[in-house]
Amino acid sequence: MPEIQKTRNFVFFLDEGFTMQAFSSAVEVLRLVRQLKPGAGFSYSVVALNDAPVAASNGLQLIPDAKIDAVPSHAVIVAVSGAHANRTSAPSFVARIREWSRHGHAVWGVSSGVVRLAQAGMLDDRRVAAHWEDVRYLRQAHEQVLVSAALFFSDGQVATCAGGGAATDMMLWVIARDLGVQVADDIAARLVIDAVRDGRTSQRRVSDMRFETANGAVYAALGVMRANLFTPLTIAEVAETQGISQRHLERLFVQEFNRTPSNVYTELRLEDARLDVLSGRRSLTDIAMDYGYSPATFARNYQKIFGLSPSDDRRGSGRGMS
């Protein structure tokens, strides 16, 4: 992951209907930094169009504590929006994002703030993290955006985050990099977080991003597969749940994804297992056994899908590493 620009001054730019969880998940980390390391110089503020109160998606209103025309020159702008962003335009909001970018600000998108950055034309040919609910819109309306299933990602002056709890992970990664892992761990403990997720960790609904289908039988078969990740069914048993033959199910999967049901099922299971691998809490042998693999078979299949072994993937997931 390219390095996020180092900064200690964050200005949250809130769109009408922004997601409160994504906003508060990021801010709470910064609040605790100021409590634990008051001399570190971290600060945060909130701005909004016309300096007016902004309603979150839950109906609560937040009053900006800074003027939109007085943003410090070195601040990172963190745009936060909500689920409506992929159905609406916000020309004034988007124009402000473009203006700050032109003046050299790093601009981050959190939750559907990523959509607003795309609408500002800032994400073309960039790899980005986006909430799975925004993926279809981004792929259809902004074909040049390289949508990733990652929790958060940085590309030079632009950082993107899927939102929700992932905003905590991104901010903790920044704190670990700038102030050390121990400080990040202390903050995580106060937030009752057992493990900080690496940015490369995939969202739980990652398979929905890739295996989109309007075919009822295929969609239902995918649901059966997802419900049986630990103790897998045979493809014949999956087909039987849909009242069709294994051969017919295989034809449908090849038509929809150009891949066999067995290939897709293996990928679904290993994507789930990868969350365990990257968390670092359990041995790789235990993880392999949980998913019904021998350690050698697990490693071989994992390498085939992710391009590196489970042990190499785990070693590369340390906080503060790109």
What is the mean pLDDT of the segment spanning 83-94?
Answer: 93
Q: Report how far residue 240's alpha carbon sits from residue 243's, in angstroms, rounded to the nearest whole number.
A: 5
Exposure of 235 in the CB half-sphere (CA atoms within 13 A):
17
What is the mean pLDDT of the segment spanning 16-25?
Answer: 96
Going along the chain from its start, the domains and CATH numbers come out as: 9-190 (3.40.50.880), 211-315 (1.10.10.60)
Question: What integer pLDDT is reported at residue 279 of this predicted model?
Answer: 67
* Coil vs helix vs strand at 193: coil
pTM of the model: 0.68
Q: Please give the mean pLDDT across all residues of the chain.
A: 88
- Candidates 98, 125, 113, 142; CA nearest to 54 is 113
Question: What integer pLDDT is reported at residue 71 of this predicted model?
Answer: 95
Question: What integer pLDDT is reported at residue 287 of this predicted model?
Answer: 92
Q: What is the pLDDT of residues 30-69, one digit of tens each?
A: 999 999 999 898 999 999 999 999 999 999 999 999 999 9
272 or 299: which leads in pLDDT: 299
Question: What integer pLDDT is reported at residue 108 of this predicted model?
Answer: 97
> What are the angstrom distances between the C-alpha of 124 and each of 102, 114, 120, 128, 193?
16, 12, 10, 10, 34
For residue 155, give both structure tokens. 């590309």
Does 300 have pLDDT greater than 90? yes
Q: What is the pLDDT of residues 274-286, one digit of tens each?
A: 877 876 768 999 9
- Candidates 115, 110, 163; CA nearest to 142 is 115
Q: What is the pLDDT of residues 206-218, one digit of tens each?
A: 555 567 777 889 9
Question: What integer pLDDT is reported at residue 321 of this predicted model?
Answer: 30
Q: List helix spans (H) across the chain.
A: 20-36, 91-102, 113-119, 132-141, 166-179, 181-190, 206-210, 216-226, 235-241, 246-257, 261-279, 284-290, 295-306, 310-315
